[in-house]
Amino acid sequence: MRSKAFESDDIADAAMQVFWQRGYGATSVQNLVEGTGLSRSSLYSTFESKEGLYQQALRRYAAVTTANVELLSGPGSPQVLIRQLLVSVADDELNDPQRRGCLVANATLELAGHDATVAELVAHNLQRLQNALEALIQRGQQAGEILPEKNPRALARFFVNTMQGMRVLGKATPSELRRQSLSDVIEVALSTL
């Protein structure tokens, strides 16, 4: 028999997919019932509200973004790793026919401006990525690969912003222009190093 925590994670993962596809505002409780396979009463008894389930989905999304943090913490040239990360973001956007973007970017645009809990969850997710980028940039400076006069924290913030912007651009750009638009952003961003 599985523990309730494990089941809650599975349900949050399923709900994350529903919220990611539809957005918070367009997701009804019925959509969540269909997406998770739970009854309304089970959803409410486990997560208390649609808001509670959304917050848990954002917490679970941090596991999705862990791969990016691990990439940046791995061995190799800092410039190459940053390029790989940006190319990975572009590939995600180009290979998603549903144009879901990034759940964190979507939450930022839809709710973070007026929901303190969502804002905190978004900030935590973005901060993890920023910290990994900052450490990688410092490593690149020590290796002589990145100019030493560059501010590592400012560059890390710039790259987090660039990635989030790529997610929004990927959702909004016409299909025939997406690849070139995202490639242009990558090349200009890398030129800042």
Three-class SS state of 148? coil
SS3 187: helix
Domain that holds residue 181: 55-190
How high is the pLDDT of residue 159?
A: 98
Domain assignment present for 15:
no
d(CA 158, CA 188): 12
At 119, the pLDDT band (50, 70, 90 cuts) reads very high
Question: End-to-end alpha-carbon separation of the chain, Å?
Answer: 52
What pLDDT is stored for residue 183 in this prediction? Answer: 97
Is residue 13 included in any domain, yes or no? Answer: no
Task: Inform me whether the pLDDT recorded for 182 exceeds 60.
Answer: yes
Question: What CATH code is carried by the domain that includes residue 76?
Answer: 1.10.357.10
Q: How many CB atoms lie within 10 A of CB 98?
A: 8
Q: Is the model's pLDDT at 4 over the cut of 80?
A: no
55: tokens are 């917050």
Give the helix ranges, DSSP H, for the chain: 4-22, 29-36, 40-47, 50-73, 78-94, 103-107, 116-142, 152-172, 175-190
Q: Report the pLDDT value the prediction gives residue 44, as an integer from 0 to 100.
A: 87
3 falls in which pLDDT band (50, 70, 90)? very low
Tens-digit pLDDT profile for residues 8-18: 788 889 999 99
Confidence of residue 29 (pLDDT cuts 50, 70, 90): very high
Distance CA 166, CA 192 (A): 16
Contact predicate 61/104, CB 8 Å:
yes
Structural domain includes residue 17:
no
Give the per-residue pLDDT at 155. Answer: 98
Residue 47 forms part of a structural domain = no
Q: How far is CA 34 from CA 18, 39, 97, in A?
A: 9, 9, 22
| pLDDT > 60? residue 190 | yes
97 pLDDT more than 80: yes
pLDDT for res 1? 37
Number of folded domains in the chain? 1
Is 26 inside any structural domain?
no
Q: In this prediction, what percent of the chain has a pLDDT beyond 90?
A: 79
- Per-residue model confidence (pLDDT) at position 19: 96
Sign for the pseudo-dihedral over CA of 111, 10, 42, 98 = positive
